[in-house]
Amino acid sequence: NDQTGLYSVFRNPWHTPLTIFIAVVGVIAIVALVTVAVLQNKPLIPKYKYGIVLDAGSSHTAMYIYEWPAEKDNNTGRVEQTHSCKVKGPGISSYASDPKKAGQSLQVCMKEAERFVPSERHEETPLYLGATAGMRLLNIENSTASDQVFQAVSESLQKSPFSFQGARILSGQEEGAFGWVTVNYLDDRLKQVCTTGALDLGGASTQISFVSDAFDGSESPNNSVNFRLYGNDYNLYTHSFLCYGKDQVLRMALSGPGSISDPCFHNGYSESKNYMTLYNSPCVSKRKPVSSPADFTHVGKGNFYQCQELVKSVFDFTQCKYTQCSFNGVYQPTLQGPFGAFSAYYFVMNFLNLTDTSVPLQSVKEALARYCSTPWETIKKQHPGIKLKYLAEYCFSGTYILTLLTEGYNFTSETFSKIRFIKQIKGSDAGWTLGYMLNLTNMIPAEAPDTPLLPHAGYVSVITVIALVLFLLFVLSLRPLWPRCSQKPQIV
């Protein structure tokens, strides 16, 4: 009996109440540990905000939709373009005689915006319209018509589900400066010392913007814009030349002496054109002859070098009250750094297959000369899908671009190679609209982000406590194996 009693003392030590308690608490602790870890580390669904900018240019209007994290990145938000839509028809300034059509023309793109922006974000999504040189010219020519166009556009956009913030004319300085911000933001150069200059060419104006060590703003304050971005200060030189977009310069070149026999159009080109249409712009209205026929015949003779001389006649290089100028008496510091050329710069040079600036400048001119000398009939056969009006103007536009860059802005054979002709950077169109949107998002309050279950310190504390509990339970579970100080049973 004594031996049986001795065996019962040591039988099944794991089945005691304490051991069962330890096991239950241990299981609970393990489940709690796994649950907290899973919930704490589950992926957070990012929140996004949206903004819409309409670029109302002289020749057409384009809509851009931008997206950025609602939580913001360095208080600016990482803005990216998610969709674009080109409005059918001409620019809104062309609807001066029928303003309602200006508003109606935007509706197709606005319907697209409703599909691309999540419906729950519609009411809070800001919508802006910025007009550039076309409306600047209309405002100069007929301010009443300009106001009516803006009123029609505003009424149309107010009907959209978005938060319409107004339509306005951007100054040339704003257009140039925001274009510079766009290029450098997309290239991630705003955190670097060396930035990229911006060259923008539209139908009615052209802009040049860059940072130069030789420019402190004192010699020409009107061309100075100061930015503080990502902790760096930038003193930007920028100038916009109204009337020096490619469409308006074509009018100036046509309205000069010898414009009927035109070296900037292909040999064999011949079109009857209306003088009233040619001179219906403030850029050329003063050039209109006192007496002129209603129509004239525009005949091409295709000579690049003669075309270049004709284009030079629209620039004034005779006056400069500063230490150095570009043209028309406008101050310009020494060119510095790489440049990005976009908008019409890209589209024209891309069509001409001349975007590779590693090719020597002289070779670019020779290639353009060969293109301009190609007969009109041959050009039409080579490009059957392009509207004849645009096709006819590529020789002139290419010549104007090279002349503007080399004679106007003083790019040399060496600095020309630093120009990069760009359409998009990282999926976003180059232009002033993204820079404009970046500026506006600084005024949009950040939204509270989705947060983990626990703050980091709390998460660490909980995990530590659970780990200590599990360790303690593990030690207690080994209690039957602890060394015992017991007396040997006495045999009586």
> Which amino acids are annotated as binding site for ATP, given as ranges?
203-207
Helix-, strand-, coil-residue percentages of the chain, each rounded to 5? 45, 20, 35
The active-site residue, picked from 175, 393, 407, 447, is: 175
Active site residue 175: yes
Q: How many CB atoms lie within 10 A of CB 325?
A: 17
- SS3 state at 392: helix
Residues forming the annotated binding site? 203-207
| Contact between residue 234 and residue 227 where contact means Cβ atoms under 8 Å apart | yes
| Contact between residue 488 and residue 9 where contact means Cβ atoms under 8 Å apart | no
**What residue type is 65 in one-letter code?**
I
Residue with tokens 């971005």: 229
- Rounded Cα–Cα distance for residues 458 and 336 (Å): 53
Parallel, antiparallel or unpaired: strands 424-425 and 224-229: unpaired
- Rounded Cα–Cα distance for residues 149 and 40 (Å): 55
Q: Which residues lie below 8 Å from residue 144, measured CB to CB, with a gap of 6+?
A: none
| Contact between residue 132 and residue 202 where contact means Cβ atoms under 8 Å apart | yes
Which residues, in sequence order, are bridge partners of residue 234? Answer: 227
Q: Which long-range CB contacts under 8 A does 320-327 form with residues at least 24 apart?
A: 322/219, 322/220, 323/219, 326/208, 326/239, 326/408, 326/409, 326/410, 327/407, 327/408
Distance from the Cα of residue 116 to its chain's centroid: 18
**Distances, alpha carbon 282 to alpha carbons 12, 140, 257, in Å:** 105, 8, 19
| Contact between residue 315 and residue 410 where contact means Cβ atoms under 8 Å apart | no
Q: Read out DSSP for 90-102?
A: S-GGGGTTSHHHH
- Rounded Cα–Cα distance for residues 433 and 415 (Å): 27
Parallel, antiparallel or unpaired: strands 428-429 and 424-425: antiparallel
Ordered strands of the 48-56 beta sheet = 80-86, 61-69, 48-56, 126-131, 163-169
Catalytic sites, residue numbers? 175
